[in-house]
Amino acid sequence: MKKSLPPLTWFRAFEAAARHLSFTAAGEEIGLTQSAVSQQVKALETRLRVALFTRHARGLSLTDDGRKLLPQVGSALGTLAAATDIFDAGPSTNLLTIAASISVTQWIIAPNLADFTQSHPNVRIRFLSAIWPDDFNSAQADVEIRFGSEKQVGKNAQLLTPNRLVAVKAPKLIGDLQSLPLIEAVGTSSGWKKWAAVNGPVPEPQLFADSYGMALYLASQGNGVALVSEFLVKNAIKAGDVETADSATIPGHEGYYLSIDDSNLHAVQFQEWLLRQLR
């Protein structure tokens, strides 16, 4: 049986950190927090059973193993990028291209999309699942909804609100924060540890997800209590998929940011529709 490869995200975190010799700078480039980059690099080191970096108080330096790996990873990522460039982007007449994470498409856009398409029957929509900054750059989308800090998402991006974190669980799940499993969305600056600092101690999380959307889905299926962006939960609560597990909230240090090509009429129409939905 062939040995499985480490996730591509680990290699991307390593390659960016190796170029910048900084987890912080790497995170700013690829749209993750410093801690998320550090965790992914550490996971790759554990998988490969070697140290790729020497950690210093003011930065990083590559080990011999890191220097050996870097050119191969860089070449492989370049090959993948070149391979995707050969594909045609598809029809463009009356086509609105929306780049967003699966979380946003699933929990925010999809539940009410029929309202937009019925009001604009001549508009065709192409959704692109985008997480990394270069995903958005290559997509050349008319509408972009990025997740991150204000610094990471760039200029002329509008923060979508509400932007606090709320604890949610499936209605059928009986219990409170002290008795139910807690679900953590990793790679963000706020989580259950910040919740505990503000609202009092809670148990250690038992389940971990790489996005708020996945954490929300796990909660909706009765697996525990997820601490997720309030921005995502409106439709899920309305549909009865989840309910709030506690009345308290905490600020979200990252958020979802909207930017559009304001020369594109369909993009402007979609922006107006989306903001109405959020209100």
SS (H, E, C) the chain: CCCCCCCHHHHHHHHHHHHHCCHHHHHHHHCCCHHHHHHHHHHHHHHHCCCCEEEECCEEEECHHHHHHHHHHHHHHHHHHHHHHCCCCCCCCCEEEEEECHHHHHHHHHHHHHHHHHHCCCCEEEEEECCCHHHHHHHCCCEEEEEECHHHHCCCCEECCCCEEEEEECCCCCCCCCCCCEEEECCCCCCHHHHHHHHCCCCCCCEEECCHHHHHHHHHCCCCEEEEEHHHHHHHHHCCCCEEEEEEEEECCCEEEEEECCCCHHHHHHHHHHHHHHC
Instruction: Write out pLDDT tens, residues 107-127.
Output: 999 999 999 999 999 999 999
pLDDT at 83 over 90: no
Quickly name the fold that domain 8-82 has: Arc Repressor Mutant, subunit A (1.10.10)
pLDDT confidence of residue 15: 94
Residue 5 has a pLDDT of: 86
**If pLDDT is split at 50, 70 and 90, which confidence band does 135 have?**
low
What is the per-residue pLDDT across 158-172, written as a single tens digit (0 to 9) for each?
888 888 999 999 999
pTM score:
0.66
Confidence label for 133 from pLDDT (cuts 50, 70 and 90):
low
Query: Are 8-82 and 95-159+256-278 equal in CATH topology?
Result: no
What residue spans define the domains of the chain?
8-82, 95-159+256-278, 164-251
Average per-residue pLDDT for the chain:
89
Class of domain 95-159+256-278 as given by CATH: alpha beta
* CATH, range 164-251: 3.40.190.10
Q: Would you state the pLDDT for residue 243?
A: 97
What pLDDT is attached to residue 272?
Answer: 95
